[in-house]
Amino acid sequence: MSEATGRVIVIGDVMTDVIVIPEGPLVRGSDRRAQITQRPGGSGANQAVWLGAMGTPVSFVARVGAKDKPHLEAYLRGFHVDPILIADPARPSGILVTIVDPDGERSFLTDRGANLALSLSDMPVWLLEETRCVVVSGYSLFAEQPRAAVRWMADEARARGIPVVVDAASVGFVEEVGASRFLEWTKGFTTLFANEDEARALSGRGDLEGQMRALGPNYGRVVIKLGAAGAAVGDATGVTFRLPAPVVEVIDTTGAGDAFAAAFISAGLAGVDVEGCLRRGIEAGSAAVTRIGGQPE
């Protein structure tokens, strides 16, 4: 458990993850045996659960299908997460199908369901007085209604001097809406978390140093996750720290970036320096890939 104190608010998607691990390449028009696992997921929910498991006080804000609210609340409380789930009477909860390649890389099929109806009235502005950090999943920015709600909450937090962190979340959606729009929506946020593909799409640069210099002016800090190569942190001046990752057996990379972000944030709230935050993030992400699913046991 971390030494962190002070609440974190995570705003993002809650999904049912259906994880498919085929025995070999998919056969168009025919069968392939596979291991299929169903469990709670969603980038925002993953980050909240990892934060709670690390001992960081955390509230998680999301919209879910009405019939799913009771059991999702119970599940989140089991990880010491304060669930602020809004029951949607019309839309079902989101579903994400993840197809895992033999090397652990993933492809996604997403139906965001009730997450698309997240609204301004769902935002727990009353919690900001006891909050030290607001974490926004990039998925909440890719549709108009949740984007308006999240940006309003971010503005309220920043007006109170509360850091706002964003995880880019999806290179596919970044490319779909355009990097310039994403950067505009998140300008002035304190920290950006992005993987290699997301950093490349947002910056238009292929080199790590160039990505930091391009993205740094939009954020106070940029953290780029490099998979098996570790991770780096920097700002408008370039790379500040870069650390390698340990060699581990990769089973499933789902949620590894969420575990990384949670550990980095938790360590920072506990007063750990930036290099130490990076090290803890890498440790958490590396441990996450050795098991199936995006959340701790």
Task: State how far the Cα of 226 lies from the Cα of 213, in Å rounded to an integer.
Answer: 17
How far apart (Å, rounded) are the C-alpha atoms in residues 105 and 234? 26
Q: Does domain 7-14+41-94+112-288 have CATH number 3.40.1190.20?
A: yes
Domain boundaries, the chain: 7-14+41-94+112-288
The Cα 174–Cα 170 span in angstroms is: 6
- 62 in Cβ contact with 116 (< 8 Å): no
CA dist 11 and 120 (Å) reads 12
In tens, the pLDDT along 138-184 reads: 999 999 999 999 999 999 999 999 999 999 988 999 999 999 999 99
pLDDT the model gives residue 5: 53
Strand partners, 116: none
Mean pLDDT on 237-253: 90
The proportion of the chain whose per-residue pLDDT surpasses 90, expressed as a percent, equals 78
Q: Which of 102, 141, 148 is nearest to 122 (CA)?
A: 148
Measured CA to CA, the distance from residue 81 to residue 187 in angstroms comes to: 28
The pLDDT, as a whole number, for residue 3 is 38
Q: Per-residue pLDDT tens for 13-66?
A: 998 889 898 988 888 899 999 999 888 888 899 999 999 999 999 999 999 999
pTM (2 d.p.): 0.89
Position 109 pLDDT exceeds 80: yes
Give residue-wise pLDDT tens across range 66-85: 999 999 999 999 999 999 99
Asked if residue 40 lies in contact with residue 19, where contact means CB atoms within 8 angstroms, the answer is no
Show Cβ contacts of residue 178 under 8 Å, excluding neighbours closer than 6 positions: none
Q: Is 90 exposed, middle or buried, given 0-12, 13-18 or 19+ CB atoms closer than 10 A?
A: exposed
